[in-house]
Amino acid sequence: MRNSFEAYQTIYEQSKNNPEQFWSEIAQQFLWKQPWKETVTFDFSLGENQWFIGGKTNITENIFSKIEDKSKIAFYLEPNDVKPEKSVISYGALERKVNQFANALRKKGIGKGDRVCIYLPMKIEAVIAVLACAKIGAVHTIVFAGFSANALADRINDAAAKCIITAQELVRGEKKVPLKKMVDEAISGTSILFSVVLDLEKNHDTSVEEFDFQSFYQNEAEECATEWMDSEDPLFILYTSGSTGKPKGVVHHCGGYMVYTAYTFKNVFQYQSDDVFWCTADIGWITGHSYLIYGPLLNHATSILFEGIPTYPNPGRFWEIVDKYQVTHFYTAPTAIRSLMTFGDAIPQSYGLNSLKVLGTVGEPINKEAYDWYATIIGKQNCPIVDTWWQTETGGILISNMAGIEPSRATYAGLPLPGIFPILLNEKGEEITDPNQEGYLCFSYPWPSMIRTTYGSHERCIQTYFSHFKGYYFSGDAAKKDENGLFRIIGRVDDVINVSGHRFGTAEIENAMNKHERVFESAVVGYPHPLKGQGIVAFVIVNDLEDQSLIESIRSTVQTEIGAIAKPDLIILTDSLPKTRSGKIMRRILRKIAEGETTHFGDTSTLLEPTIVMQLVAAFQSKHIN
Ligand code: WTA
């Protein structure tokens, strides 16, 4: 449809002149049980936006009943351990399993609006569980299977989930994680009524009823009545980190999310029906939701579902998979690219990689070296790279070049998609129009998959996204625009850090560390890390600076409270932190120390104890170099 830059420009202008008509025409291509009455209403002062109001649909009907050839492969299932054969699931087989699982859930009393927690490895059962929820109108909340039992319990409690779908064990590379054991720890005393466990090993004394995944649904009927959902009924909740301590449940609704993920998948990646798409993200993150599950399936794409990690059993695994399935579209995070780069060019060069047509990145800014390596060594200068900027809250890609259509520039995400109207604001909320000036990345108009609310507290949604600049959604990122209007994302300007593409709030990690009995106070900031993008450094007040064993035990507290992925890279034990006379930690100074600054700290006259700055500089420098 849109296959030239001129066409993009024309469509963008049309969308700007009449966004309602633009989105309405796109939405008409979907299956609606009942048409919508109003395309969009919004009021950013109330943190509100609604789409396709009055319409009724179901995202699973749009996946399964619109496909002509049900024998088409939905997923190639690549397990953790290398196996020469190919295991596949067709759209027809997936639909039957989804219906069976949906029937089984219904029998157990799960229905429209009930929250279902999913804590599973990257296996097809995760997709079945997600779509079964959507089929019956239950609201799924997937928790990344790298989160700890405590983090899982927090999310279950916040969502008041009625049941949990999990696995006995998760295997990733050589590591085995006893998921079921963690679930048992997490769910006692929560709202969970029963659990469904993949490869359940034995029934022992648990606080809830439990079922083996296969026996739970294998005898159910393969037909299932669809729950027709209001466009503005919730589809899922996904927890993500923000500036404040507690992760928040971002809520996405059925109609708008469906339209937007399908539209962006098709247009950004320029997917054609015989292509093989591979998004390496975990289903526990938004990228897995939108571009591993919903976006591709709504376009009847064939995708790879990979259970393992890029370096197991060797660092050629990604490229081996690309060749094995003749992958045409490969979508990953800069952190994976940087880490695979360190193993040298010879590894990818020993594979064909000739099927690749489009490469994508997501989750964090990509540096020039990684971009060039990706383009040259993986793409052989033959594949456009789409650097896609978006967030859990945006539901889908907002800023990205479309593959092969618009100009792409290394380290620049590119132009906004049609229907997306970004604006850069300064501190005072005034628009920055000059090119190459940094500003706060905001949006003046909603899009169909924009966050609807934060679960349990709409006030929090207003405060977080709509209160900084009146009349705008504020992303939390800084960005700049070049002369041609291409956006470059600088990174977060709030207390959110991005470690290997995973989002954490600094307060969230501090709260976890403060649970350690010997920690008095702590402050966390990000620092530039060659592989992870940002590393986590924690300055921690303890009473015995000599006891180095504390460092490991503080790290393990973070692992228990949040998960191994949030463990600080550096912990600096100290007896004090840079505080103002009123007792406030001056984070600005800690950020500078973490960036490697040794002398220029600006005005430190309000500090209670100015000498602490140089002490922390020395401590950081000595640790960092080691
Ligand atoms: C960052 C991930 C630069 C950004 C989809 C954003 C990026 C946060 C890019 C959201 C990109 C995402 N270039 N930065 N292409 N994509 N980010 O919610 O800081 O896990 O605010 O969603 O990741 O992270 P989240």
For 351-375, write each residue's pLDDT tens digit. 999 999 999 999 999 999 999 999 9
For 553-575, write each residue's pLDDT tens digit. 999 999 999 999 999 999 999 99
1 pLDDT more than 50: no
For 208-259, write each residue's pLDDT tens digit. 999 999 999 999 999 999 999 999 999 999 999 988 778 999 999 999 999 9
Q: Which helix (H) or strand (E) holds 362?
A: strand 358-362
Compute how many other C-beta atoms are within 10 angstroms of the C-beta atom of residue 624.
16
Percent of the chain with pLDDT over 90: 95
- Which residue among 144, 280, 362 has the greatest number of ligand 1 atoms within 8 angstroms of its CB, and so is best to mutate? 362
Q: How far apart are CA 403 and CA 361, in angstroms?
A: 12
Atom index in ligand 1 nearest the CA of residue 413 equals 15
CB 566 within 8 A of CB 512: yes
Query: 365 CB less than 6 Å from ligand 1?
Result: yes
Bridge partners (DSSP) of residue 526 are 536
Atom index in ligand 1 nearest the CA of residue 492 equals 19
Query: 489 CB less than 6 Å from ligand 1?
Result: yes
Q: Which amino acid is at 501?
A: G
Instruction: Name which residue sits closest to atom 25 of ligand 1, judged by CA.
Output: 391
Compute, in angstroms, the gap from residue 506 CA to the centroid of ligand 1. Answer: 16
Q: Which pLDDT value is given to residue 625? A: 61
For 569-622, write each residue's pLDDT tens digit. 999 999 999 999 888 899 999 999 999 999 999 888 889 999 999 999 999 999
Phi-psi region of 539 (alpha: psi -120 to 50; beta: other; left: phi over 0): beta
Compute, in angstroms, the gap from residue 389 CA to the centroid of ligand 1. Answer: 6
Q: At what angle do helices 506-514 and 549-561 cross, to 10 degrees?
A: 120
Mean pLDDT of the chain: 96
Instruction: Name which residue sits closest to atom 22 of ligand 1, judged by CA.
Output: 391
Instruction: Name which residue sits closest to atom 15 of ligand 1, judged by CA.
Output: 389
CA-based nearest residue to 623, from 517, 511, 527? 527
Please count the CA atoms within 13 angstroms of the CA of 174 that sit on its side-chain side: 4
Query: 279 CB less than 6 Å from ligand 1?
Result: no
Compute, in angstroms, the gap from residue 483 CA to the centroid of ligand 1. Answer: 23
Residue 407 binned pLDDT confidence (cut-offs 50, 70, 90): confident
CB 341 within 8 A of CB 370: yes
Q: How far apart are CA 306 and CA 587, in angstroms?
A: 40
For 140-196, write each residue's pLDDT tens digit. 999 999 999 999 999 999 999 999 999 999 999 999 999 999 999 999 999 999 999
Query: 411 CB less than 6 Å from ligand 1?
Result: no
Compute, in angstroms, the gap from residue 501 CA to the centroid of ligand 1. Answer: 7
Atom index in ligand 1 nearest the CA of residue 393 equals 18
Compute, in angstroms, the gap from residue 533 CA to the centroid of ligand 1. Answer: 12
Q: How far apart are CA 571 and CA 290, in angstroms?
A: 35
Atom index in ligand 1 nearest the CA of residue 392 equals 18
Query: 364 CB less than 6 Å from ligand 1?
Result: yes
For the segment 22-42, the average pLDDT, to the nearest whole number, is 98
Bridge partners (DSSP) of residue 536 are 526
Query: 154 CB less than 6 Å from ligand 1?
Result: no
CA-based nearest residue to 80, from 310, 401, 290, 248? 310
- Which residue among 368, 498, 532 has the greatest number of ligand 1 atoms within 8 angstroms of its CB, and so is best to mutate? 498
502-507 contacts, C-beta under 8 A, 24 or more apart? 502/285, 502/565, 502/566, 503/240, 503/241, 503/392, 504/241, 504/536, 504/562, 504/566, 505/241, 505/242, 505/243, 505/244, 505/245, 505/247, 507/243, 507/244, 507/245
CA-based nearest residue to 257, from 19, 450, 455? 450
Residue 203 binned pLDDT confidence (cut-offs 50, 70, 90): low
Q: Which pLDDT value is given to residue 245? A: 76
Query: 290 CB less than 6 Å from ligand 1?
Result: no
Strands (E), 159-198: 163-167, 170-172, 175-177, 194-198
For 477-513, write each residue's pLDDT tens digit. 999 999 999 999 999 999 999 999 999 999 999 999 9
- Four-point Cα dihedral 226, 231, 236, 241, nearest 10: 170
Q: Pinpoint the alpha helices (H) of 249-374.
A: 254-269, 286-288, 295-298, 317-325, 334-341, 346-349, 368-373
Compute, in angstroms, the gap from residue 561 CA to the centroid of ligand 1. Answer: 24
Compute, in angstroms, the gap from residue 392 CA to the centroid of ligand 1. Answer: 8
Instruction: Name which residue sits closest to atom 12 of ligand 1, judged by CA.
Output: 363
For 100-145, write each residue's pLDDT tens digit. 999 999 999 999 999 999 999 999 999 999 999 999 999 999 999 9
CB 16 within 8 A of CB 35: no
Q: Is 431 helix (H, G, I), strand (E, B) or coil?
A: strand
Q: How far apart are CA 418 and CA 22, in angstroms?
A: 9
Bridge partners (DSSP) of residue 527 are 535
